[in-house]
Amino acid sequence: MIKDHFTYKLLDWYSIYKRDLPWRNTKQPYIIWLSEVILQQTRVAQGLPYFQKFLNNFPTVQDLADASPDEVLRLWQGLGYYSRARNLHQCAKDVVNKYQGKFPGSYEELLKLKGVGNYTAAAIASFAFDQPVAVVDGNVFRILSRYFGITADIGSPSAKKEFEELANSLIPFNQPGEFNQAIMEFGSLKCKPKNPDCENCIFKKNCYAYNNNAVGLLPVKENRVKIKVRYFTYAHIQCENEVVIKKRGTGDIWEGLYDFPLEENNIQVIRDPADFIYFKELEFLNPKINFNPELTFKHILTHQRIFANFVSFDIKKDHKEELQNWVRQRRYFLVDRQKLESLGKPRLILKFLNGEK
């Protein structure tokens, strides 16, 4: 009875109000997988242009597998969570090398792919292969916890299992893909984290949260991740039409992207360029220095808040050879602006280069 009431009411709503999105008009697992990876922790409006760019540049999984890491990261630039891009690339290679270019057709086999967790595997399995496996993401946690009055902490393994079992009990065997699309769409358009449209909700008569004044309290998430604050000072070093850059390594944010030589400070961004390590290192090149201590860039990540400022060093061409030696010693790169444009860069660097605040 609960299944009939909830499931088919949701499907009826979806048939009327669903958005026309390109990945909903196909059974091709490559297109479905690509959209799901891009839309993780990303709004549809932001993710759609990236989806289209990737599909235009890499029409098949083979094309994506054959791409260079720099190509993939460059197209991903500005979307954030760059480990998704690296996993996307590796997954494409695995599909080509281990599965002859065809995505496996079962939920269990899909889970073996790089970067494919329970949610993505369920999405591909249900959308492309009609397997009755429920997706469980933030939208699903929110809708089910509010409607059924589930107060378990969604960060706990036991709660996740409880939600998965409930979602799988609601999914219709003849329309698994439609149901999964519907519940995510409803969470995105109606049962939002903030300011949900409860007054016009099709479920309000039977919704626990609505009838118990608990909409703002559900879902429950006890253990909030502590936010780390970091302070960066970048050296923007130019000589004629060339700029000094470095490639970010493993073990930190933005792995594989390119930024500028950097000093991280413990307490705050620097206010005097003479305190900057690169000021001392580049003194022998007699650079022209441009620095505005009031111009600080703020960049927000899920678990980090970054405050950064930039010290610009303009090196005359008479000192170019000495600069090149300095760059080689530190394993940096001196590239022209056209090359810099073609490389993947963190959003923070783009904001600086584009004169944004």
- Reading the block at residue 313, the tokens are 């060093």
Asked if 84 and 40 count as a contact pair (C-beta separation under 8 A), the reply is yes
Q: How many CB atoms lie within 10 A of CB 171?
A: 22
Q: Whole-angstrom Cα distance, residue 69 to residue 90?
A: 9
3-state secondary structure of 263: strand
Of the residues 36, 178, 185, 242, only one is catalytic, namely 36
Q: What length is written for the chain?
A: 357
The C-alpha atoms of residue 146 and residue 158 are separated, in whole angstroms, by 18
Beta strand spans in the chain (E): 228-239, 242-247, 258-259, 262-265, 288-291, 297-300, 304-315, 333-336
Residue 222: Cβ-neighbour burial (10 angstroms; 0-12, 13-18, 19+): exposed
Short-list 162, 163, 123, 172, CA closest to 141: 163
Letter for the amino acid at 302?
T
36 carries an active-site annotation = yes
Q: Which DSSP string do the residues of 58-94 spell out, in sequence order? A: -SSHHHHHHS-HHHHHHHHTTS--THHHHHHHHHHHH
Q: Which two tokens stand for residue 290?
A: 């441009």
Could you give the residue numbers annotated as active site?
A: 36
